Structure formats: structure tokens, C-alpha cells
Structure 1
Amino acid sequence: MLPHKLSLLLPFFLILLPLATPDPASERAALLALRSSVGGRTLLWNITEPDHCKWPGVQCDHGQVVELHLPGVGLSGKLPNGIFGNLTHLLTLSLRFNALTGSLPSDLASCVHLRNLYLQRNLLSGEIPEFLFSLLDMVRLNLAHNNFSGATPLDFNKLVRLRTLYLENNQLSGPISGLKLENLEQFNVSNNLLNGSIPLKLQTFSEDSFLGNSLCGKPLKLCPGEGTAISPSGAIETKNNSEGKKKKLSGGAIAGIVIGSVVLLLLIVFALILLCRKKSSGKSRSVDITTMKHPETEIPGDKPVPDVENNGHSNGYSVAAVAAAAMTGNSRTESNSNEGAKKLSFFGGAPKVFDLEDLLRASAEVLGKGTFGTAYKAVLESGPVVAVKRLKDVTISEKEFKEKIELVGAMDNENLVPLRAYYFSRDEKLLVYDYMPTGSLSALLHGNKGAGRTPLNWEIRSGIALGAARGIEYLHSQGPTVSHGNIKSSNILLTKSYDGRVSDFGLAHLVGPSSTPNRVAGYRAPEVTDPRKVSQKADVYSFGVLLLELLTGKAPTHSLLNEEGVDLPRWVQSVVREEWTSEVFDLELLRYQNVEEEMVQLLQLAVDCAAQYPDKRPSMSEVRQRIEELRHSSLKEDHDQIQQPDLINMM
């Protein structure tokens, strides 16, 4: 009876027993085995440190290794078996940008919870191992830029959670027509030896995902038997794979198509000629102060201005006449009341190197249309170049305007774009700033995406963040009620040396509510209901979104017209929850080695700034201090590496 009773109780004992999992000692031993098997900077692990969770690149949860990040640390040689079998809690493994060779170790199959595997830019070879398809929790898989060969396994279809699959720049061969990856968001198989047709499920990806192969079908050229062709008789035939029917067009239809095409072409050429003449005549116009002194002189009305967020680029034509209308007020009543005789008001003891007449004679071009008005670049005949902002929707009195703008003009900090002068009349309010030649951070991040673009490295981005933080901290130091109110990437302007300068400060209190369109909502703190009343903590939230934009390269919701944005704080939080933090960062940042830790620290700071509740956000002084510390850390590491190159090479 006793054995029978024990047999009944045995299942309950088994439930209570803990699962056989590696203990911290075996995980530490596995990491040390990895350290001794491959070369690289893992030798900098301090083995005298009793807690291996504090080693660089090792992240733990409840004492168990869940992430191992060793990107770009010079690892070489083959990954041996017997290591990953003791790291079975791994969720993320990143060994990218190294020189690892050979095939993947089979005991990687023991990491059944692995979600993110980043092995790109190594020298790994052989066929893609079958055990990868038993890792059913896989979300991100990057095997790009290796020497993997053989067929592309259809077993990829087993990975139903897979969102990212990068296989480009390998030696994979054969068809991919059997792939049916329903949930993919990122995909690339370019520069392999693949052939055949692209499956329907993958035709939504761009052609760059398939180039460098012998593939056909959307988005590439149609496969044989698809589309249209010319028959030997000269008739146009439509081929259909499913029906195989041929439909011929009559000679009259063909003639009609040809004639229509010629007429359309002539219309396009004619329109282009008119457009070029219009632009040429626009450029030849000049601005004269007499348009202000003689109201009977006809002043051209405002032409439409591209609705971009001060991206620091000309729209390609001269707008001197438009600027004249802006600066004169375009009002006969005003001229008759001698308001045209008003002059520019300069701040402080700055020398008045130009006056209103000089400004009105200047050639001008549109820089952009922002939240508070249109900005122009004005090149004065005497040499200086200034930026002129024409404010819109100013509803306060002249006395109140002068009182508030005097406070703005008194702001003096090297991280602010200085306001030099202003002009006030009944219908026109102009602000004159120093011109920032490099444009805005928004233009730098989202403007030129072509081949000639210079990648923005960590030093430039973190420097811009620090400059902006210092400028905003200065504003907040002027009093507890002083805030910027409109922090966004188009209001961070850059010097020639990429130093960040904060602009548009103090303007939120000058304009009506109609000047705060929805496109700034991506930066707005959740508690802000009146855009003219923004607290310092709300500024911190906006700055947090700005940091996320710097790190991810993504534009916040509605911050750029004609370009989709994302809710950056929510998106980043979802990415972090999925345990693929490194995928947050802009690809341009991932080119640079040895700064991943600082990038993660800045990401955490950005998340802290964009906290839902104001009292959970740090002050701008704390923000500035944390950025200074992490920049000092990264610069010190670079200096140490320069001072000790031989030691690193030995490792």
C-alpha cells in the first residue's frame, strides 16, 4: 500500500520541486568559458568581481543572465559548444560586428526563451542550423553580412512571432517562394544567390529588400508570363497566368494612346517652361523701402509657403517681394497713420549695424513656416545675414508686446539663439535673430536621406543634446514660471560646429491659441491643455521626446508633415518590454562602437523625462548634469583606448 500511496503523491512532489536550471555559479562559469574561447575586449571583465551581473554587457534579472551584449568588441574564433547550455534564461544575445567564424554551436538550442539574436557582420558560415527553428519565442533575428550558404529553410514559417528577419549579404541560394511569414515588419534578403518568384506575403517590402538576386515579381520586375508583352504581329497582348488569355488592342486604340501621350508630354513641357519663367521673374525682383513710404505702390500679396517646421532649407526661389509685404504690413491705413516710419528696436547696447530700410532691401528666402509664423533668411547689402520671423496671430497690445519681448531680448546665454531686434506695427510684428547656417536638428535628422548624407555620430548627437539642455536650464533658472513652451527638434538650431542653440523661446505668450496646431502634439506633455501655459516640467517632457528623436532617428507624431511619425515614448516603452532595446537606436548610431552603454543611459534619461506624471520627471538641472556625466564617460573611454592601443590589441 505504501508504494502505491507514494506513487499517488509523486506528481505533487514533482510540481513542488524547482525546475532544473543553471545556478549563478554555472552561468558565471559559462561566461568565463566564453571569455577563454574567443579573443576580444571581454578580457576586460574583472574576474575578481564576485557578481558577474556587473560585468560590461551582462544583464541579469533576479540573478539570472537574461541579456548578453558584446557588439563590436573584436571577438574572434569559433563559438564552442557547452556554453549556452548554461545560459538558458537568455532573452537577448548580441554578438554583432565581430569576427566570429564557423557554425553556430548546437547548444544554443537550449536557450528556448531567446527572443532576439543579433549576429550580423561576422564571418559565420555553413547552412542556417535547424535548431534555430525550435526557438519559437524568436522575435528579432539578424544573420546579415556573414557567409551562410545553402537553401533558405521553409522552417522559418514555424517562427510565428518573428518580426525582423535580416539575411542580406550571405551566400544563400534557391527559392524563397514558400516563405509565409505573416507578422514580419522588417525583412531583407538582398545580395544572395536566390532565384524564383517573391511570395505574395513579402511583396509589401521595398525592392531594396530583394536586390542582388535572381528574383522576380513585385516589387521587382514581373516574372515571365506576367504583365504585358508585344506579340510578333506588333499587337499589344495582356498575359494572365491564371487564364492564359490574350487581348489585342485595335490599331485605332493604339493610335489614340500614342496621340494622347504626345499631347500630355507637350502640356508638361509647356507647364515647366511657365514655371521656370515665373521663378526667374521672382528672383529678379528687388525690395525697396519706397513700397512702405508710398502706399499707392502695389505690393504683391503673400505667396503660399511650404508648411514645414523651420527645417533650415530654402524653398528654391526668391521671396523678396513676399518679405517686403510681410515687413511693410501690406496696409494703406497703417501707412497713412505714419506707422511706416517706425524703426527697428534693438536690445541692449548692441551696435545698430543695419536699420529697417536695409532689412527691407535685403534679398530673402523662406526658411520655413513654424508654429508662431514664417521665418526668412535675409542677406543684407552691407554683408550680415540674419533670420527674420514674421509672427502671426499676435493679439496683445503694443505695450504688453514690448514688455514681454524685452524680457526675451534680455536672455543672454551661449546656448540660446539671440534675439537682436524687433519691429512692431498694427499688422506686422517682426523678430530679428542671428542666422544659424547649419539649419535645424529636424532637418539634420529627417532631411537628406541620400547617399551623400554624413552619418551623425554619438559625439555630435550627445553634444547637441547637451547644448539644448543647457539652454533650457538657463531659461528655467530665470524664475519658476519661466518656460520655453515649444521645445521640438525644429527649434534646436545648429552652428557650423554642430553646437545646439535653442530658439523660439518666450514666444508662446505672445500669440493666440490658433498658432499651436496639432502637429506639435508629439512633443506635448499629457497634462498640457493650454499651449500658452506650459510648466517647466512640461518642458522636460518635450525635451525627453527630443532625446528619443535624437536616439531613434524617428519623428514624433505630427511633427513633420507628409511623413509618418510615431508616439515615441509609447513606442520605446513597447520595444523595451519586448527585450530588444538595441533595435530602438538609429542605425547610424549603431555604426559606432563602445558607446552602447552611454546610449542606453541617455535612453533611460529620455524615458525618465517623458514620464506620464510631472512629479516623476527630473529637473532640467538634473538632466543637464546626467548628460554631462555620460558624455564625460564616453570621452574618457575613447581617451583610454587611444592611450593603451597595445593592451587592447593583445586582448
Structure 2
Amino acid sequence: MDPNPLLLLALLALAVAEPPPSERAALLSFLSKTPHESRIQWNSSTPTCSWVGVTCDPNGTTVTALRLPGAGLVGTIPPSTLSNLPSLRILSLHSNRLSGSLPSDFSNLTLLRSLYLHNNLLSGPFPPAIPLLPHLTRLDLSGNNFSGEIPFSLNNLTRLSRLFLQHNHFSGSLPSIDLVSLTSFDVSYNALNGSVPRSLDRFPESSFTGNLDLCGSPLPPCTPFFPAPAPAPEVPTKSSSGGLSTKAIIGISVAGGLIVIILLTVLLVCCFFRCCHRRPRDKPKPDVPPPPPPPVVSGGGEPSRAAAEVDDAETNRLVFVGKRGYGFDLEDLLRASAEVLGKGSVGTSYKAVLEDGTTVVVKRLKDVSAPKPDFEAHVETIGRLDEHPNVLPLRAFYYSKDEKLLVYDYLPSGSLSALLHGSRGSGRTPLDWESRARIAMAAGKGLAHLHSAGIVNGNIKASNVILLPEPESAAISDFGLTPVFPPSTVSRASAGYRAPEVTATLKVTFKSDIYSLGVLILELLTGRAPNQAVTVGGGEDEGVVDLPRWVQSVVREEWTAEVFDAELMRYPGVEEEMVGLLQVAMACVSTMPDSRPDAAEVVRMIENVVGRTGDEDGNVPSRGGSGAPSPPPASTP
């Protein structure tokens, strides 16, 4: 039987279906104007829909998605290229090195639903074209250098369900974004100020952390750390009818005059009486000391109320611990000028400058559940810990019903988080490989010191790794505090660094510390913040995973070079050490706690990778003295 000629024509039409020449030209123009890695080869002699990263509709007549994540794209996005893809629904260009601002003609992409531009070097104000995309449901601009205010016009995106703007430089107040469809939201680690709008307070604290001047639910309330003096009582000047009557004013004046006259009369009478009855031969008797107070009964009796008040005043004082002493007391601390350094899951840290110029860090704890005797005993144990160059010692503490404070030395170099995830613009000094290796060594040595003293850290993260005056080394802080907090605090602390078993049991252990240390080392290697959403796949199939699982997925695909921070690729001859330290980190983040090495073993493994240290503060030798990396343990992926 002869085949149906209409069917043959339909099959022939499908075989030669191709997007319009304008779309093909737009893609080729984008690729030719944007430097990229060699693995992206778009051959003009092959069908457009077969190109790497390009997806067409089922009929192959128009381009609907472009996915080029981690493709080594460099430079600005050229205008009049991607904007000429009118049917584009998904655009994923994340994890490249794109810079500059977003072209204004992106507003032509009116059918765009998902836009993934995170982990690039894009800068400038919030792209004005984005609020003009009516079908947008997912927007991720995190990990860039955008600045300025977040526009209120985002409320025009009525279908938006996921909005990620973290790790940028957005400033000003947070607009009231009131979108019923919004289910995921993150503006952490920007420079926002003011209070969190009521329309956004349904999102967790981690969505707002890292904005030092942002306050209000779910963050701590917008109140100053140091209590302000009570305002003077106001004297009413008006009656409820709008003013005092003439009779009332006359009555007040007459009463005041009578009181003054009576006081003067009493004073004159007293003076006259003393003058008339004093005899010259009278001599003043020597002062007799008052009788000693009755002893406080320690057995079956009870101390008097006065003695109890003295005990309270003596107990609620600033208690100094450790070897170094400071010459100030609680009142000196309360009079100091304060500056917010950061807000975390267990409290807020302040830089306090006292009147004599002494500078300390005061951590104001919240949600402490331990009673006073237990709190004091535990904190004093931490304070008695032998000092170590890679551990920031506790200097003092204060406990009262309303306030729980910890005092530490102030180190002006800041935290690892600020240095590693700060601005990546042209004026930033990158954190080189040797510095990152030294910091990993310092964190390992500090943790090993705590574990040797029987103290579980429980809160390892980059914001708690404080840089020492020399940028090559660091000290861990905020350690050993989990026993004084309720389990709910443990469940929300150190997001991204928690071991899987801690999420289930709400108990921290030596092995869970090792997992957190491994995540910290991965953070140093990848340049990615663990509490930042990491996506795998592309477009509608993208899923959020934690940093260790993302690294495993990339290494499994044999794209190991894609794991490392792009800033590290400029240093020649360190690839072997980077891979060796990556193996150490992956041994630490094993899902099975018993498979993880202990802290002392981690230090030895790091030494085998980057060379043995010559001192006690985590400094490693400069280039040229490195040993070969040790083979990975059996449990290492």
C-alpha cells in the first residue's frame, strides 16, 4: 500500500523543523560576544535544538530554555542577544563569572518563568527589567555584587514563589513584599536596615541574618543593647478639656505659696531653738560606731532581707575568668559605646568601647535555659580552659534574670565569613591558597585543643572563625555553649554546618564537630557559603542540596575542577594540594559518624597535604615545602 502523502509531508516538516533564524542568530551572537570554556561548541551546521544547553519546544520551532551553569562564561551579558528569544521560559547562567549589570532589554522576555543568575560577579542596582517579567516564578540573584535598594515593584511579580537575594550588597530598608505565592525567601548577608516587614516575618531567622542593622521578628526586637535612662516623668499641662481653668491655676499658685511659707517658718523656729538652748560648756560627744550586724545564720535560720539584697548585688556581677584581667566592672561596660557586629542563633555580638579606650566583644545571649548555678559552673569551666593560639578565650560573664552576657577579646581583623564572602568586586583582595590552608590548619588545631579538654564546640561556622592580626591564621570562638540552651536552639544553630545526626537527635558530639569542620574546609575550597542554597540540575528540575552533597555530585561527574573557587585557579601549582585537602574534607563529612576521623587525625592529614607547621598558631610554610597528599580514607567518596 502506498504511504499516505499527507503523513509523509508532516514527518518531513518535523524533520526539518528549526527555530526562526532570528533566534539562532541571537544565540550565536551571545556566544561569540561572551568568552567561555571550550566545551561549549555550537556548530552552525547542526540543528539549533541539538546545541549544548539549548532546549526547544516539542515541535522544535522555538527556543524555550537556555542552561549554561558553570560553563566558564566571563564578562558582561551582551544586549540584543538573549532578549531576542521571545519564547524563552528558563534561563540558567549561574556559577559563572558574568559581571556588570543586566541588560535593560531583558524586559522583552515576557514569558520567562525561571531566572538563575546566582554565584556570578554581577553588580549595579537591582535590575529594573526584572519586575517587568509578569510570568516569573523563580528568581535567584544570590552571590553577586548587586547594591542599592530592593524595589517595592517586586510586588508586580504576582506569580513569584522563590526569591533569593542573599550575599549581595543591597542596602536601605526591606520593602513590604506581600506575595501570597512566595514560599521561599532569603535576603541574608546584605546591608539592610530597619525592621522586618510584617508581610515577611513568616520566614525563618536564617532568611534575614547577616544584616547587622535589621531587626524585628523573627530577628531580635529593635531595641538597643545598653539600657537607656528612664525618661523624666511628664508634668501634665493640660486638662482633658484642652487646658487648665483659671481657678485651677490660682489654686495651684496659692497652695505652692503656702507650702513655701510653712517651710520657711519651720526652718526659722528650728534655728531659734538651737541658738537659745545651746550651752557653751557642752562639748560634742565622740562618734560611737554602730553595733555590728547580726551574723547570718547558715543552718536552720534565714538571712534578713537586707542580707539577701547584698547577696544578690554581690552575685549579679561581672565575673572575670581566665588568666588575663581587665580593669573595668559592669557599670563601666554599660556606659560603653556599642556597635553591632553580628546576630546569630544564640545571641547578638557587640563591639564595646569603654571610656578608657579598652575594646572588647560583648555577646548578649538569648533563650538561655540553664539555671544560674548550672550556667555559672559551665561557663567557668570554659573560662578555665588552657589558652591556645587558635582558640579565642572567654574573659568574663554576667548572669541576671534579664541579661546573660559573655565578654571576649576584640580582634579587629574580623571573621572568615566576612573575608571569604565579602565583596568580590575589583577593589577586593582575594583570599589566596596559602592563607586558606593556614586557616584550615588553625581551625583544626583549635578544635583538637577543645576536644582534648573534653569540650564539644557545637557551633563551628565561618562567622565564628576570627582572623588573628596576621591574616594567615585564625581562632575559633563561641564554643561549648550548647549545654546552656534548649534543644530548639541547637536545631536552628549553624545552618548548613550541622551533621545529619544532629538534625535528628538535637545533640552535638565530637563527631558532629568533625562534620562541621569538614564543611568549613569545603567552604574554604569552593568559596560557597553552606547556608546558601546550592542547586543541581537545571530549570524546573533544579533541586537544593547541601554543600557536601553538591561537591560529591560534581566530583562524581569527574568535573573536580568545577568544585574549587574561581579565585583559587589563578595560583599555579596548587591543584594537587587542593585535591588533597578536598579529600580530607570529604572524609570529615562522611554520613556515618564512626567513619569520620578525630580532630588530631584531621590536623595530621592537613599537615600531610600542605606541609608541616613550624609553630603552634596554624601557620604553614610558604610554597615549596609541601608534602604529597595522603591517600584518602576508605570512606572518602
Kindly provide the amino acid, as one letter, of the partner of residue 425 in structure 1: S
The 3-state SS of whatever aligns with 1:461 is: helix
Name which of 395, 400, 409 aligns with 1:425: 400
Distance (whole Å) between structure 1 residues aligned to residue 99 and residue 461 of structure 2: 37
The amino acid across from 1:204 in the alignment is: L
Per-residue Cα deviation, 1:580-606 (whole angstroms, up to 9, x for no partner): 010011111111111011111111111
Matched residue, 2:69: 185
1:265-320 CA deviation, whole Å, 9 max, x = no partner? xxxxxxxxx99xxxxxxxxxxxxxxxxxxxxxxxxxxx969967999985399x99
Shift of residue 152 of structure 1?
Answer: 6.8
| Distance (Å, rounded) in 2 between the aligned partners of 1:327 and 1:509 | 34
Helix, strand or coil: the match of 1:386? strand
Aligned to 1:121: none
> Contact between 2:514 and 2:588, CA under 8 Å: does it hold in 1?
yes
Residue identity matched to 1:401? F
Please identify, of 195-204 and 609-618, the stretch whose mean Cα deviation from structure 2 is larger: 195-204
Instruction: Tell me what 1:485 maps to.
Output: 458
Correspondence for 1:548: 522
Report matched runs for 1:92-491 at 5 Å: 144=35, 153=44, 155=46, 157=48, 162=53, 182-186=66-70, 188=73, 190=75, 198-200=84-86, 201=88, 204=91, 217-218=105-106, 315=213, 322-325=224-227, 337=309, 339=312, 342-411=316-385, 412-479=387-454, 482-491=455-464
Letter in 2 for 1:491: N
Report if aligned partners of 1:157, 1:180 keep a CA contact under 8 Å in 2: no
The answer as to whether partners of 1:508 and 1:532 remain within 8 angstroms in 2 is: no
Which AA in structure 2 matches 1:569?
Answer: P
CA distance in 1, matches of 2:54, 2:474: 36
1: CA distance between counterparts of 2:100 and 2:485? Answer: 55
Partner of 1:7: none
Post-superposition offset of 1:418: 1.1
Change (3 A) 1:357 1:639: same
Measured on the aligned residues, the alpha-carbon RMSD in Å equals 4.8
The one-letter amino acid of 2:412's match is: P
Length-normalised TM-score, structure 1: 0.53
Structure 1 contact 311–439 (Cα < 8 Å) conserved:
no
**SS in structure 2 at match of 1:350:** coil
Deviations 1:112-159 (A, max 9, x none): xxxxxxxxxxxxxxxxxxxxxxxxxxxxxx9947999x9973648465
Question: Normalising by structure 2, what TM-score?
Answer: 0.54
* Structure 1 residue 327, shift from structure 2 partner: 13
Q: Is 1:592 the counterpart of 2:571 in the alignment?
A: yes
- Alpha-carbon contact 1:312-1:368 (below 8 Å) kept: yes
| Aligned counterparts of 1:304 and 1:146: Cα–Cα separation in 2 | 44
Post-superposition offset of 1:458: 0.5
Partner of 1:522: 496
Distance 2:580 2:93 in 1: 34
Structure 1 residue 325: Cα displacement: 3.2
User: Contact 1:310–1:369 at 8 Å: present in 2 too?
Assistant: no
SS at the partner of 1:598? helix
Q: 1:376 to 1:566 in 2, by over 3 A?
A: farther
Counterpart-to-counterpart distance in 1, 2:105 and 2:517: 45
The alpha carbon displacement at 1:625 in A equals 1.2
Structure-2 change in CA distance of 1:405 and 1:556 (3 Å): same
CA 1:428–1:442 in 2, change beyond 3 Å: closer, same or farther? same
Structure 1, 446-455 or 353-362: larger mean CA deviation: 446-455
1:507 corresponds in structure 2 to: 481
Residue 247 (structure 1) aligns with: none
Question: Structure 1 residues 612, 326: CA separation in 2 closer, same or farther (over 3 Å shift)?
Answer: farther
Q: Secondary structure at the match of 2:494?
A: helix
Corresponding residue SS for 2:578: helix
> Separation in 2 of the partners of 1:530 and 1:326?
42
Quickly say closer, same or farther: Cα 1:316–1:159, change in 2 above 3 A: same
SS of the residue aligned with 1:516?
helix
Tell me how far apart the structure 1 counterparts of residues 229 and 462 of structure 2 sit (CA, whole Å).
27
- Amino acid of the residue matched to residue 85 of structure 2? P
- Contact 1:190–1:210 (Cα < 8 Å) also in 2: yes
Indicate the residue corresponding to 2:623 in structure 1. 638
Question: Which blocks of at least 5 consecutive residues in structure 1 are unaligned?
Answer: 1-141, 165-176, 223-260, 262-273, 276-302, 329-335, 642-651
Q: Please say if residues 388 and 433 of structure 1, whose CA atoms lie closer than 8 Å, have aligned partners that are also in contact.
A: yes
Q: Secondary structure at the match of 1:611?
A: coil
Change (3 A) 1:390 1:145: same
Identity within the alignment, %: 44
Residue deviations 1:334-366 (CA, integer Å, cap 9, x gap) = xx9564663211114433321111111110011
**What is the CA-CA distance between 1:546 and the residue it aligns to?**
1.1
